[in-house]
Amino acid sequence: MRVNEVNEVFGVLDINEAQKQILEATPVLERESVHILDSLRRVLAQDIVVTEDFPASDISAMDGYAVRHTSLHSVSKQMPVHLRIIGESPAGRPCGASVRDGEAVRIMTGGLVPEGADTVVRLEDAAEDSGYVICANDPGRGDGIRLRGESLRKGDVVLRAGDLISPVEVGVLATLRRAYVYVHQKPLVAIFSTGDELTDFHDPPSPSKAMCSNLYALAAQVLECGAVPLCLGIVKDDLEAQKSMISDALRADVIITSGGLSKGKYDLVRESFASFGMDMRFSNIFVKPGKPMIFGTIGRKLVFGLPGNPSAVMLSFDQFIKPAFLKLMGHQNAFRGRSHWRDLNGPFSLIDSFAEGNAGNHGHHRASLVPMGRPSPVNGGSGQKQKAPDGYKPGRLERVTH
């Protein structure tokens, strides 16, 4: 049976198609004005147009002497010329004098070329003596001068909407005297974990409880993406309590939960979100780790329900949530094929269903409860395996039918 026929029979969806559906449902956030130092690693939401020539005037490209080129006619080592020094033009302090034939102005790198001068003789090719500069070399007319607009012309578009801002772009913006710039907003991401068995730092340890490590791991991944985490804490396995938590979470652009997605008596996350009219896009990924998982939308808000296993949570974030964050923040290439944003040799590569070099976890290695990127050892073995039901293949998603 061909893959497409299997998909039709079992109602499954290819994982790459699932990534595509997530991105299709993901909006691009509006823009906001920020200081250029706060724009680092963010995406421009406007074109940057040069408003004046740069440099704004002719300036010297070196230390030397500004002269009229006609004063150097027929100059040679055998027949040097003596030019009277009439002033000085350091960077930021123009001379103000006008240079005529037989005259020179001492000039420094970045200094404004005085009126009448059209050439700079570099310091190494000249010598001073009693108020005169002795030139024995003709560098050529216009040499040693950065002309007005040589680097940038008024009206040039130097940065475009969609460009990612690095320190280089910050320097460009500062050069153009742009203290503030429009970038795409950072998404606010509400995070909470479900389960009566979970505890936080302020709770006493108990053998019947587990630390809510997912809450902090997810917050760290959100921060690493450049988004803003809103940690709402732990919610009990109680329908009304979960509804109250979701109601609070709806102030965010994205909601991420962990746990409570199986089909047990106390797995209530699906029902809780359904009460808010969530449009369920897909549910349950048949990969290890990562099953179960849900994705849906409430209006323009994205909802990701992740499993409770810490390794599965972090890997699912990289596979499905990170590219959505990139699009939210205006990145042009949030998805360019198979998970290009992840390190396929990284700590989760052995259990990553996308990592074809490692056989895509076809052995269904169970993820460790301590997310260190290794399959959990079982009696010294490499990891516990779980047999797939007949008719299913790794790397498929169950399609939600309404």
Look up residue 163 and give its amino acid: D
Q: What's the structural domain count of the chain? A: 3
Structure tokens at 252: 């965010």
Is the domain of 17 the same as that of 97? no
pTM of the complete model: 0.76
Q: What is the pLDDT of residues 78-113, one digit of tens each?
A: 899 999 999 999 999 999 899 999 999 999 999 999
Parent domain of 103: 59-146
**In the chain, % of residues over pLDDT 70:** 77
pLDDT bucket at 353, cuts 50 / 70 / 90: low
**Half-sphere exposure of residue 199, counting CA atoms within 13 Å on the CB side?**
11
pLDDT bucket at 282, cuts 50 / 70 / 90: confident
Mean pLDDT across the chain: 83
Helices (runs of H) and strands (runs of E) counted in the chain: 8, 22
Q: What is the pLDDT of residues 178-225, one digit of tens each?
A: 999 999 999 999 999 999 999 999 999 899 999 999 999 999 999 999
> Any idea how long the chain is?
402
105: Cα separation from own chain's centroid: 49
Is residue 250 scored above 80 in pLDDT?
Answer: yes
Is the domain of 228 the same as that of 85? no
Is the domain of 47 the same as that of 134? no
**Does residue 37 contact residue 170 with C-beta atoms inside 8 Å?**
yes
Q: 92, 127, 146: which is the final residue of a domain?
A: 146
CATH number at residue 42: 3.90.105.10
Write the DSSP assignment of 277-308 as a string of letters: T-EEEEEEEESTTT-S-EEEEETTEEEEEE-S
CATH number at residue 138: 2.170.190.11
Q: What is the pLDDT of residues 23-82, one digit of tens each?
A: 999 999 999 999 999 999 999 999 999 999 999 999 999 999 999 999 998 898 889 999
Is the domain of 117 the same as that of 204? no
Is residue 358 scored above 70 in pLDDT?
Answer: no
Identify the pLDDT of residue 350. Answer: 55
* Residues 285, 81: Cα–Cα separation, whole Å: 84
Q: 136, 166, 184: which is the final residue of a domain?
A: 184
* Residues 284, 280: Cα–Cα separation, whole Å: 11
